[in-house]
Amino acid sequence: MILWCAHCLYWIRDSVPDPNGAGMGEISIINITVNRKITASEAERLLKEEIQRATTLFPPKGELMAYAWLETNPAAGSEEMIKLPDGSNFLIYSPKTKTAQTEKQYDTSKQKPPQAGKGIKVDVSLELERGTDGRVRILGTTNLPHGMILMTDLRKVGAKYFAQDKVEVINGRISTTWFSDGGKAPPSGAYEVSISSPLPALQSVAVRAVIGQTGENLSGPIRTSMGSKMVDVTVKNLFKVF
């Protein structure tokens, strides 16, 4: 029995930020697409087999990420990512150890303990300011270091309205640009705000000296990926625009 009608292999090499703060690294990506539902365990087995085949034919210089996708509809953009048994999105292969780990296994293995006396429990307080023209902006205070780059997302609960701004922490304060809806006041209703940070490798040297090369000094509302810690704060149903 043929399990898939499309067994697609894309071998892409690109320069990406090294999560350990060592500049830019090289990574390769494999995508496998199947046209019938398979279990998470079967997806992991297929990925490992494809990694073995691909790395034998084309030994990668850097790490390799492998994803499995389900496509039952030929329409563009209909692919769904297949989660692995532990909930990971992909396998990652290291040419140094010649082993493949799940995203979560890799994340755990790469995490560093906080530097002695440098731990930071992330604290962010936010408020909404409304201008005389109806536009709004987000103001906040934080204990994150001066110069740290953050992304601020503003979403209307239950609607399609979305606005985003990149902000920089200035002396413990953050302030977004003024948000509007096509130049008019945003629609009335409840909003939620999310504050996140990019990979620590993308922060300045001065910021990394405080949060750690992989963000290891951060704790509290954070997320981890590829061994790095990043800010992840969401305030739901706190703001209302009238």
List the domain boundaries for the chain: 12-106, 120-241
Check whether 5 has a pLDDT greater than 90: no
The whole-number pLDDT of residue 23 equals 43
What does CATH list as the number for 120-241? 2.60.40.10
The whole-number pLDDT of residue 12 equals 47
- Per-residue pLDDT tens over the stretch 115-150: 999 999 999 999 888 888 889 999 999 999 999 999
pTM above 0.75, yes or no: no
The whole-number pLDDT of residue 225 equals 86
Distance CA(82)–CA(37), nearest Å, equals 9
H helix count then E strand count, the chain: 3, 16
Long-range own/partner contacts, residues 3-8 (CB < 8 A, 24 or more apart)? 3/34, 3/36, 3/38, 4/33, 4/34, 4/35, 4/36, 5/35, 6/33, 6/34, 6/35, 6/71, 7/32, 7/33, 7/34, 8/32, 8/33
- Per-residue pLDDT tens over the stretch 171-222: 999 999 999 988 888 888 888 999 999 999 999 999 999 999 999 999 999 9
- Per-residue pLDDT tens over the stretch 16-46: 555 554 444 567 899 999 888 999 999 999 9
Burial environment of residue 72 by CB neighbours within 10 A (0 to 12, 13 to 18, 19 or more): exposed
Beta bridge partners of 222: 231
Comparing 63-67, 156-160, 163-167, 232-236, which segment has the lowest mean pLDDT?
Answer: 156-160
Query: What is the average pLDDT value for the chain, to the nearest integer?
Result: 86
The residue among 79, 83, 100 whose CA lies nearest residue 91 is 100
